Chains A and B, each alone.
Chain A
Amino acid sequence: MSLAVEPKVDSEIAAAKTEPVRSWPATLHDWVTTVDHKKIGLMYIGMAIFYLVVGGCEAMLIRWQLFYAHNNFLRPDTFNQLFTMHGTTMVFFMGMPILIGIGNYLVPLMIGARDMAFPRLNALGFWVTLFGGLLAYFSFAVGGAPAIGWFAYAPLTEPAFARGLGTEFWCLGLIVSGIGTITAAVNFVATIIGMRAPGMTITKIPFFAWTMLWTSVQILIAIPPLTAALVMVMLDRDFGAHFFDVQNGGSALLWQHLFWFFGHPEVYILILPVFGMITEVIPVFSRKVLFGYEFMAAATMAIAFISLGVWAHHMFCVGMSRMQDVWFAVASLLVSIPTGIKFFNWLATMYGGRIRMASPMLFACGFLSMFLIGGLTGIMLAAAPFDFQLSDSYFVVGHFHWVLIGGTLFGTFAGIHYWYPKVTGRMLSERLARWQFWLLYIGFFVTFGPMHISGFLGMPRRIYTYEPSRGWEFLNQLTTIGALIQAPSFAIFVWNVVWSYFKGRPAGDDPWDAWTLEWGTSSPPPSYNFASIPTVRSRRPLWDLKHPDDPDWKYE
């Protein structure tokens, strides 16, 4: 294990990066057949960024249609297809793959393993996820994407209401990519349980690995019911079954329960790994050990468990009994307790530290300031009677974008800016990163802030146009302008990633003076990760090496 702090020169990075020069078919063959967790992780991230651009373009089309009342830019069906695919894409083909990809790259490095537990299964998982996404998009080629909304409420998915093959391809795509997600989760659980470096007991694992473990547990519990429900939709559509066919004794509510039993844990699947990344970034850039590791770890578990019992808070308006409403409202409000614990521990970690505002910390602070707001509007939505007004309004659209962009996306950018030097051996441009951050931060407020207000003023979600007399036009125009401010931020990010790969400042193995195992190997890491498997005595093995006089294991 090297601890070299002096940066490598360009030629060394080039040598580590390219190995022997190969022809492009050989390179392609290498990537297509690889079982290396790092390459698979990068392919996941590449897939996610591709779908981020696709889903982003769909969002821009949606926003342009809503710029004016009675706008005729898109036909109603096209609009409905676009918001269906925008939601589906961002959740299934962007959100989960980017987190699974980052986890794939980092978990073995962080726990001192040479690969994931099942490398071939890992490759299968990626390819299946990728082709699942392509399958869902193939619907555009067979007469149009489904226009059913990403939660596809029955009986709108029945053949009588959703004609055409779009819904079939959507179901197939999600079933197939769901198999990929499940294989990834199995792999994470096996890897994290079984392949930790000697000395790394379960209470000493890096926090990001801990959150990936619980995310994987949630995936294993949440995705199978979705798969089952999708199979039921296909049986209804193609084999004459009547699960959701109300006229023949089926149940519309059954779908809602099955879907949200997946759909709510899904929200936490998309946020727990980000909590993990933030929990890695904040200590390193505050120069302090994480405050209250045990409470943070317990809070993660608590969120994973409680979130399995809150699903029907998406269904307060379906006419449940008052006792059911109370149950799901209480369960939802309970989630705010462990989330609050996390916030206070992050802030306590920063308190008394020596904070470096490099780009990862900048994005982490963006996460803290924004995710808080998303959490607080979540408390409003969890209070069932207030939800009777807010549910399915633009307030909800503002809320979950605040959580998923303010939370998941900002946190993921913090992680990407933090680990990019490890992956490429070069630093991202700080100047471009700052442009990216501020455009995203400001654009984000202008886009999603007004959505809350249009919700208060009675604007329901998923409408392709609205009456000019409603007084929603100005708010919608602000939202669209906000989206236009955000768009260049993503372009800057992609440009920064590409430019820095070739021209970035050499990073060295440990540019942030960090403490977890991945910074102890070279940048980029060799295919076997570690020349010799390290032995670990505390949660910060590199701190122990750098401070032999005052190691962590004395205090843990």
Chain B
Amino acid sequence: MMATTVLLALAESQAENLSIFDPAAPPSQSIRTLSVLLFAITGLIFLLVEGILIYNLVRFRKTSAGTESEPPQVYGGQPIEVAWTVAPTLVVCILVLVMTRTLWEVDVTASQPKPGDHALFVTVVGRQWWWEYRYDTYNGRPLGFITANELHIPATTDSAHRPVFLNLQSADVCHSFWVPRLAGKTDLIPGQSNHMWFETRDHGLFLGQCAEYCGTQHAGMLLRVVVDTPEEFEQWLKSQLAPAHDDPDALAGKKAFLSEACVNCHRVRGTSAAGTYAPDLTHLMSRETLASGLFPNDAKNLERWVADPQQMKYGCLMPAFSFSEARRKDIVRYLTTLH
């Protein structure tokens, strides 16, 4: 029992894996292949140049103060100069060719969605300091729901490739989408749409975070990509497409929520809360974390959050509302029913 607890704790404390050298998708795999070549070439240059430097220092270091005559003066030599101009040029040529091939592998133009393509199209909107995901189409089927901070995608299987095409936009300042094990980063820039692509066979959670400085909580803008099996993903789509759960036990909380300023920013589909400024709460409890990946999403943290978001994520754009304790508890009770 004790041992299990220790093992569990160890597993918990084990570092999360965000290494660019442990790729799980074609773009990141191509980049790792390129990096091997780069490490090999730069490593050889490093050994060559540092080797000559050390040789010079050992071989030609003046040891005694005795000899006064100057060494022979050599002013240069055209053949050797040409040689060490041409050699790096050849290395550059090789690098350019390999790099260009990798670029064409990584930077794939998105196809148009059509039925039977098994492709998922999601519009990602970067916001200070969280991620909005608008699910556009899957397998040619229009979806049209909005969620936040946790991107669910289907895994590629032997039966079908399931590529994910992200359409990256920003609502305020520049952000950057970086999940190192899936792909290199692409910036989200206001006023333009960028695109990125990946697919993976590995189930589970892939982590990352915003990589372009975007203000106070740049550090608190974490990314979570959940890779489901195709069946799980279909299930998840179905639950997300459903209207908000309406629990009669939480009626007081719902009334409170809808009568407060919450509705100016948040949306709960099927109610009068239709704000577009803050995360969509329709299926809030289907998400594992709160505040863009910073805290586990449970009743306790939700209550702390509603009481004073600034205590949990300083600088975030949601103010504290000074609800009475009863009203706060009602609202949180309502939120916890939004499965």
Question: Are A556 and B174 interface neighbours, CB within 8 A?
Answer: no
B320 at interface by CB-CB < 8 Å: no
Question: Are B95 and A388 interface neighbours, CB within 8 A?
Answer: no
* Contact code string A308-341 (vs B, CB < 8 Å = 1, else 0): 0000000001110010011001100110110011
Question: Are A337 and B60 interface neighbours, CB within 8 A?
Answer: no
25 residue pairs from A and B, CB less than 8 Å apart:
A76-B314, A76-B315, A149-B213, A156-B173, A156-B215, A288-B72, A289-B74, A322-B103, A329-B96, A333-B92, A334-B92, A350-B56, A350-B57, A355-B62, A377-B42, A385-B106, A387-B184, A388-B31, A388-B183, A462-B213, A463-B209, A464-B218, A466-B219, A469-B12, A556-B75
B60 to chain A, nearest CB (A): 5
Question: Are A388 and B185 interface neighbours, CB within 8 A?
Answer: yes
B301 at interface by CB-CB < 8 Å: no
A499 at interface by CB-CB < 8 Å: no
A392 partner, pick from B50, B212, B222, beta carbons under 8 A: B212
Question: Are B99 and A385 interface neighbours, CB within 8 A?
Answer: yes
Considering the complex, which residues of chain B in the window 96-110 have a beta carbon less than 8 Å from any beta carbon of chain A? Answer: 96, 99-100, 102-107
B22 to chain A, nearest CB (A): 10
* Contact code string B173-192 (vs A, CB < 8 Å = 1, else 0): 11010101001111101111
B85 at interface by CB-CB < 8 Å: yes
Question: Are A336 and B219 interface neighbours, CB within 8 A?
Answer: no
A353 at interface by CB-CB < 8 Å: yes
Number of interface residues of A (CB under 8 A): 93
A147 partner, pick from B72, B107, B215, beta carbons under 8 A: B215
> Which residues of B lie under 8 Å from residue A379 when comparing CB positions?
38, 41-42, 95
Question: Are A467 and B222 interface neighbours, CB within 8 A?
Answer: yes
Question: Are B15 and A470 interface neighbours, CB within 8 A?
Answer: yes
B225 at interface by CB-CB < 8 Å: no
Question: Are A380 and B42 interface neighbours, CB within 8 A?
Answer: yes
> Which residues of A lie under 8 Å from residue B215 when comparing CB positions?
80, 147, 156, 161
Stretch at the interface among B76-84, B240-248, B276-284: B76-84
B315 to chain A, nearest CB (A): 6
B316 to chain A, nearest CB (A): 10
B219 partner, pick from A340, A355, A383, A463, beta carbons under 8 A: A463
Question: Are A319 and B53 interface neighbours, CB within 8 A?
Answer: no
Q: Which 6 A-B pairs have the closest CB atoms?
A: A388-B184, A471-B15, A458-B18, A463-B219, A319-B194, A292-B76
> Which residues of A lie under 8 Å from residue B87 when comparing CB positions?
340
A161 partner, pick from B31, B99, B173, B210, beta carbons under 8 A: B173
* Contact code string A369-393 (vs B, CB < 8 Å = 1, else 0): 1001100110110011111111111
A318 to B312 alpha-carbon distance, docked (Å) = 31
B235 at interface by CB-CB < 8 Å: no
Question: Are B61 and A337 interface neighbours, CB within 8 A?
Answer: no
A345 to B20 alpha-carbon distance, docked (Å) = 36
Question: Are B57 and A319 interface neighbours, CB within 8 A?
Answer: no
A310 to B209 alpha-carbon distance, docked (Å) = 28
> Which residues of A lie under 8 Å from residue B214 when comparing CB positions?
156
A347 at interface by CB-CB < 8 Å: yes
Of chain A, the residue at the smallest CB distance from B56 is A350
A338 to chain B, nearest CB (A): 8
**A161-B173, A286-B60 known; A460 vs B209 contact (CB < 8 Å):** yes
Question: Are A77 and B76 interface neighbours, CB within 8 A?
Answer: no
Residues of B within 8 A of A (CB): 12-13, 15-16, 18-21, 27-28, 30-31, 34-35, 38-39, 41-42, 45-46, 49-50, 52-53, 56-57, 60-62, 67, 70-77, 80-81, 84-85, 87-89, 92, 95-96, 99-100, 102-107, 128, 168, 172-174, 176, 178, 180, 183-187, 189-192, 194-195, 207-219, 222, 314-315
Considering the complex, which residues of chain A in the window 529-556 have a beta carbon less than 8 Å from any beta carbon of chain B? Answer: 547, 550, 552, 555-556
B103 partner, pick from A343, A380, A385, A392, beta carbons under 8 A: A385
A74 to chain B, nearest CB (A): 11
B293 to chain A, nearest CB (A): 8
Question: Are B53 and A246 interface neighbours, CB within 8 A?
Answer: no
B45 partner, pick from A286, A350, A376, A384, beta carbons under 8 A: A376
Of chain B, the residue at the smallest CB distance from A556 is B75
A252 partner, pick from B92, B189, B210, beta carbons under 8 A: B189
A471 partner, pick from B16, B45, B49, beta carbons under 8 A: B16
> Which residues of A lie under 8 Å from residue B18 when comparing CB positions?
457-459, 470
B192 partner, pick from A77, A319, A458, beta carbons under 8 A: A319
A155 at interface by CB-CB < 8 Å: yes
Question: Are B213 and A318 interface neighbours, CB within 8 A?
Answer: no
> Which residues of A lie under 8 Å from residue B62 when comparing CB positions?
287, 354-356
A155 to B189 alpha-carbon distance, docked (Å) = 9
Considering the complex, which residues of chain A in the window 416-448 have a beta carbon less than 8 Å from any beta carbon of chain B? Answer: none
A356 to B56 alpha-carbon distance, docked (Å) = 12
Question: Are A155 and B76 interface neighbours, CB within 8 A?
Answer: no
Question: Are A319 and B211 interface neighbours, CB within 8 A?
Answer: no
> Which residues of A lie under 8 Å from residue B184 when comparing CB positions?
317, 385, 387-389, 391
> Which residues of A lie under 8 Å from residue B50 when comparing CB positions?
369, 372
> Which residues of A lie under 8 Å from residue B31 when comparing CB positions?
385-386, 388-389
> Which residues of A lie under 8 Å from residue B41 when comparing CB positions?
379
Question: Are B180 and A389 interface neighbours, CB within 8 A?
Answer: yes
Question: Are A153 and B42 interface neighbours, CB within 8 A?
Answer: no
Question: Are A336 and B218 interface neighbours, CB within 8 A?
Answer: no
A326 to B215 alpha-carbon distance, docked (Å) = 31
> Which residues of B lie under 8 Å from residue A3 when comparing CB positions?
none
Beyond A365-B53, A456-B20, A552-B73, list 12 extra A-B contacts (CB 8 Å).
A76-B216, A253-B192, A288-B71, A343-B49, A351-B60, A353-B56, A357-B57, A379-B41, A383-B99, A458-B178, A463-B218, A469-B13
A44 to chain B, nearest CB (A): 31
Question: Are A287 and B71 interface neighbours, CB within 8 A?
Answer: yes
A286 to B72 alpha-carbon distance, docked (Å) = 11
> Which residues of B lie under 8 Å from residue A127 when comparing CB positions?
none
A348 to B80 alpha-carbon distance, docked (Å) = 10
A463 to B18 alpha-carbon distance, docked (Å) = 16
Question: Are B85 and A337 interface neighbours, CB within 8 A?
Answer: yes
A273 to B336 alpha-carbon distance, docked (Å) = 63
Considering the complex, which residues of chain A in the window 385-404 have a beta carbon less than 8 Å from any beta carbon of chain B? Answer: 385-393
> Which residues of B lie under 8 Å from residue A350 when comparing CB positions?
53, 56-57, 60
Question: Are B73 and A288 interface neighbours, CB within 8 A?
Answer: yes
B96 partner, pick from A77, A333, A345, beta carbons under 8 A: A333
A289 to B70 alpha-carbon distance, docked (Å) = 10
A344 at interface by CB-CB < 8 Å: yes
Question: Are B85 and A341 interface neighbours, CB within 8 A?
Answer: yes
A34 at interface by CB-CB < 8 Å: no
Question: Are A252 and B49 interface neighbours, CB within 8 A?
Answer: no
Question: Are B88 and A340 interface neighbours, CB within 8 A?
Answer: yes
B114 to chain A, nearest CB (A): 24
Question: Are A293 and B76 interface neighbours, CB within 8 A?
Answer: yes
A462 to B215 alpha-carbon distance, docked (Å) = 10
Of chain B, the residue at the smallest CB distance from A459 is B18
**A253-B192, A348-B80 known; A457 vs B19 contact (CB < 8 Å):** yes
A295 at interface by CB-CB < 8 Å: yes
Question: Are B81 and A295 interface neighbours, CB within 8 A?
Answer: yes
Question: Are B85 and A252 interface neighbours, CB within 8 A?
Answer: no
> Which residues of B lie under 8 Å from residue A500 when comparing CB positions?
none
Most buried by B among A75, A345, A458: A458
> Which residues of B lie under 8 Å from residue A552 when comparing CB positions?
73
A460 to B27 alpha-carbon distance, docked (Å) = 19
B163 to chain A, nearest CB (A): 17
Considering the complex, which residues of chain A in the window 465-502 have a beta carbon less than 8 Å from any beta carbon of chain B? Answer: 465-467, 469-471
A461 at interface by CB-CB < 8 Å: yes
A368 at interface by CB-CB < 8 Å: yes
Question: Are B185 and A391 interface neighbours, CB within 8 A?
Answer: yes
A133 to B28 alpha-carbon distance, docked (Å) = 43
Question: Are B73 and A289 interface neighbours, CB within 8 A?
Answer: yes
> Which residues of A lie under 8 Å from residue B56 when comparing CB positions?
347, 350-351, 353, 355
Question: Are B103 and A372 interface neighbours, CB within 8 A?
Answer: no
